[in-house]
Structure 1
Amino acid sequence: MNTTNTSGSCAKDIMSSTLLTAYEGWTISRLADFFINRKISAAPVIASDHELVGVVSISDVFKFNNLTEGDKSNALRNHYRDSCGQEINEEVLRSWVKDADKNCTVHQIMTHEVIAIDQRESIKSVAQLLLEQHLHRVFVTDNNKVIGVITAMDVLAALAPH
């Protein structure tokens, strides 16, 4: 988005700077506990070097849990291959599938594309982006560093008459 705000409120004014993040190496089970314990439905995903690498939501967890055993097996096989550089023993793979949520990682279910908006964007631009992209939240950046998050409810609260 290129429309910067010249008067009135901007993205930085309505964002939440409290940003809970998930690590891409967490298990899906740990992620689910994180969402439940923090009472949140999504989080930006960071790598071990704290670089933003994606976003993950409770919907991603539900989708994973509803995969067939064959799809979970493929996810585990790919994870093992990516991590170890070799193929997994099929007997071991079958035993891992039983606890796939403890053996697969956030990296496997996250969305790699992160949609963000600059902190100086107008609230109207934020609302437009949420509508056009069918998003529930958007991350706010300052020089490409994530500094906050704005939800659809934040925009509604900002636009509603007080």
Structure 2
Amino acid sequence: MSTDILSQLTAKDIMQGDLLTAYEGWTIHRLAEFFINRQISAAPVIASDHELVGVVSVSDVVRFNTMDDDQRSDALRNLYRDSCGQDINESDLRNWVKVADRNCTVHQIMIPEVITVDVNTPLTKVTDTLVTHHIHRVFVTDDNKITGVITAMDILGAVHSRMEH
């Protein structure tokens, strides 16, 4: 297999166009159900105005669910402060911690940095982006609008299919 064949491929050639998104205002519980029901492990996060604001994965949900009560209290305290502009009563906070996954939102656990490539980016540059940033997926944009996703498995599939020919 020649690397010339792979260098001729672009992000558009191998991206998955059916992109599911999560909303930053969803609860973590709703996000977990979304991942399970759709059988996906990550999604770009959009705001209510559909602006791309981050990315969230199953790992972020797991990290949240393994927090101790003090860490959850801090997350909930910050959520309350951000949304209400004041501090929460400590007894209410203790009760709220018990159902934190139904109160904390995607915004609190998402990664606000989204790494993207343009649809015309050569596959060799896409793989370089994944390796350089130590990530498993990159989102594809066209005219600064998110149009797809490429995972490490998509790249392996493209390489594998070219090796068979």
* Normalised TM-score (structure 2): 0.92
Kindly report which structure 2 residues correspond to 1:1-162, keeping only aligned pairs within 5 A, or say none: 8-160=8-160, 161-162=163-164
Within 1, Cα distance between the matches of 2:95 and 2:157?
49
Shift of 1:43: 0.2
Post-superposition CA distance 1:14-59 (Å, at most 9, x none): 0011000000000000000000000000000000000000000000
Runs of 4+ residues deviating >2 angstroms: none
**Letter of the 2:87 counterpart:** E
Equivalent residue letter for 1:100: A
Name the CA distance, whole Å, in 2 between partners of 1:133 and 1:113.
Answer: 11
Structure 2: runs of 5+ lacking an equivalent:
1-6
- Alpha-carbon offset, residue 107 of structure 1: 0.2
The structure with more helix, counted as a fraction of residues:
2
Aligned residues: 156
For the residues of structure 2 that align with 1:54 and 1:107, how far apart are their CA atoms? 8
1:92-113 deviation line (CA, Å, top 9, x unaligned): 1110000000010000000000
Instruction: Give the letter for the 1:128 counterpart.
Output: D
AA matched with 2:144: N
Structure 1 residue aligned with 2:4: none
Alpha-carbon distance in 2 for matches of 1:32, 1:51: 22
Structure 1: runs of 5 or more not aligned: 1-6
Look up the SS of the partner of 1:149 in the other structure. strand
Code of the aligned partner of 2:83: S
Q: Distance in 1 between matches of 2:125 and 2:146?
A: 18
**2:59 alignment partner, SS class:** helix
Q: CA deviation at 1:10?
A: 0.5
TM-score, L = length of structure 1: 0.94
The root-mean-square deviation of aligned C-alpha atoms, in Å, is 0.9
